[in-house]
Amino acid sequence: MKSTAEFMNNAMKAGLTVPAFNVPYLPMVEPVIRAVVDQDSFGLIAVARLEWIKFEAQGPAAVMEEFKKWNEPENVRIHLDHVPVIDEDNLEVDYLSIIREAIDLGYQSVMVDGSRLDLEGNIEATRRVAEMAHAAGVPCEAELGAVMGHEAGPPPPYEELFESGMGFTDVEEAKRFVQQTNCDWLSVAIGSIHGAVSGALKDKKKVSARLNLDHLEKLHQATGIPLVLHGGSGVKQEYLLAAIKQGITKVNVGTEIRQTYESALRETGALSSAQDAVYDRTCWLLKDYFGLSGTRERVVGEAG
């Protein structure tokens, strides 16, 4: 079976992106996979540590079990998203054991997030995870820079963040980081923000984020590997489509489908209605937002 790394490289060469759909609730897995298949696309089912800490994903084993029930290997792979070295509440995380567990469970790509460390600490943590993942034939994603939004308390005004370039990934640091860690994909900060995950803010509509495309181009030239956009929900479509042409090969989508699920469940009380809503929204994202309907073969080839 071809690796997720091959599919990502194919997507980058074709000027396409691979959407990674985060599933904070297990019943979201089936409708997302069904939508990807029905749109003849390719995507990742992703779960981050915070989605079993702050929501109801339960953990890597539970998500893998649900994924196996509905897996369509020609269309989807499973990805371990954000496993922080230091988490959103500034607590240390036993990140190596979580990532090792996921690899042993059969996750097909993993992410370590050392972005709250200094540069040297992030390089060292990422290098260790990349070595562990590569020994198992699994690609490793890392993060450099600060995609805001998961921190406790209200964030600064968005325009202030964007205009100041607060947390943006440094180009020279990115070049050195990739060389010294051997990571396969790099999540970069260029203007997107994460959706809030706690308190009243978690139900609020995200701001319409912009992306600094000039900065992205410099990062793409400096690194030469697939780049990742976290906080993909809410980014203005014109910026997103341009960013994909400039090296954003994976886009994380969380808030867009999480709030859809929660809202439908709250309004109807019916799990099936919430799943139908997630299916419809995922189809819309693939077809009308990303423009990825019918692109599966360009990513996976004839025999994925």
Residue in 227, 124, 99, 225 with CA at minimum distance from that of residue 181? 124
pLDDT for the residue 151: 45
pLDDT for the residue 201: 46
pLDDT for the residue 158: 58
**pLDDT one-digit tens code per residue, 65-82:** 999 999 999 999 999 999
pLDDT for the residue 181: 98
pLDDT for the residue 166: 65
pLDDT for the residue 121: 98
Q: Report whether 264 contacts 274 (CB < 8 A).
A: yes
Class of domain 4-300: alpha beta
pLDDT for the residue 135: 98
Q: Report whether 66 contacts 93 (CB < 8 A).
A: no
The contacts of residue 288 (CB under 8 Å, 6+ apart) are none
User: Using CA atoms, how far apart are residues 251 and 244, in angstroms rounded to an integer?
Assistant: 9
Which amino acid, one-letter code, is at 43? G
81 is catalytic: yes
Segments of the chain with pLDDT less than 50: 150-151, 195-201, 206
pLDDT for the residue 194: 54
Q: What are the extents of the domains in the chain? A: 4-300
Backbone angles phi, psi at 216, to 5 degrees: -60, -45
pLDDT for the residue 289: 95
Strand 18-22 and strand 248-253: the pairing is parallel
Q: Which bin fits 153, alpha (ψ -120 to 50), beta or left (φ > 0)? A: left
Question: Catalytic: which of 40, 81, 89, 113?
Answer: 81
pLDDT for the residue 156: 61
